[in-house]
Amino acid sequence: MWTALKNRLIEAMERKIETYTDTERAHQTAKLATARSQSNPWLAFKMLRAQLGSTTYRDTIREAVRPADVAMAPASYRSLWKMRIRGLINLNIDRLATKAFVETTSANPLEFTGRNGTSLGQLLKETRPFILNLHGHADDASSWIFTKD
């Protein structure tokens, strides 16, 4: 998914570059080539965010994960929750793990993001299962963790 998401951001930047003057287009194309060739996704996403601007960056990512809003939760997530696991560390921002929990238990889990985190003590005292959305969730761009900073 990360490579596909990077490619979506690159495509958005290519469309944006088409609107620039010739001089600016050459400069931005060179910057895009650097971001495209960056093998470290943390740095590539940082470069693309800076080049696209916050609004286009956010909207492009949200559009990429929008199909998950209406998708069924994967059976594997529902199977995990049926096993009554204590919690789940989710690396995706689509919140399908949360959707599966609600479908399976008709309750709400203790849910938090990698940016706001929680303490181990809180998890040990809490009786509800937890979901740590390590990279954030699509609904809140301020919770996203895609870049080195």
- pLDDT band (50, 70, 90) for residue 119: low
pLDDT at position 112: 85
Longest dimension (CA), the chain: 60
pLDDT tens for each residue of 44-86: 999 999 999 999 999 999 999 999 989 999 999 999 999 999 8
Is pLDDT of 118 > 70? no
Q: What share of the chain is helix, strand, coil (3-state, %, to 5)?
A: 60, 10, 30
Q: Supply 62's token pair.
A: 């949200």
